[in-house]
Amino acid sequence: MRDKLLDRAREMFLQHGFGNVSTRKIAAAAGTTPAMIHYYFGDKLGLYRAMVESAVQPLIDSVQRLEQAAGDEAPGLEAVMRAYMRMVAANPWFPALIIQEVLAQNGRMRGEFIERFAGRTAPALVAVLRRERDQGKLRVDLDPRFAAVSLLSLCVFPFVSLPITGPVLGFRPEGAELDRFISHTAQLFREGVAVHGDGT
């Protein structure tokens, strides 16, 4: 029942918006009562948190491991990009929900999203990029903040743009094509931030 409530909540939040969906409506769509939402999640905000965290927690873990690791066995930035893009591909509701509830001018969940997700991953990415630059692995003129924005954009925008790139370009990020696209994106980013022959 917990998973069914999460599924129905994703569908209804996307279709109607977080503020326009009551726990009673979600429960009815899942074939149960609001008491079950209270049992599993506490309230509607708890349901939203569980929905996002079920998708992003593996990514948060991956970024934090990268931030804490050191030496040759530390996972590369490509590993984080791969985890990020696989997370978004596996949860096609994620980009639409973020645009609707976080990035929109009056996004109701912006503060919540910053506190529980972006605020935990973006600073870690900046720290990793700064560390790799200071270790001579990346260009000396690299601004880690700018590079983090570029990395996140490369990972997320292809999935945001799917309603256009799908029918126009025949882009289908799934299966073998997803693997190829992730490798392409990681290589594109790495070549843009790599140390050149003159040290820049």
178-200 pLDDT, tens digit each: 999 999 999 999 999 988 765 55
Confirm whether 50 is domain-assigned.
no
42-85 pLDDT, tens digit each: 998 889 888 888 888 877 877 777 777 665 555 577 888 888 89
User: What's the rounded Cα separation, in Å, for the pair 172 and 166?
Assistant: 6
Confirm whether 200 is domain-assigned.
no
CB distance 132 to 79 below 8 Å: no
Domain of 114: which CATH number? 1.10.357.10
Q: Which residue type occupies 94? A: F
Q: What's the pLDDT at 25?
A: 93
pTM: 0.79
Regarding whether 36 and 111 lie in a shared domain, the answer is no
Q: Is the pLDDT of residue 169 over 90?
A: yes
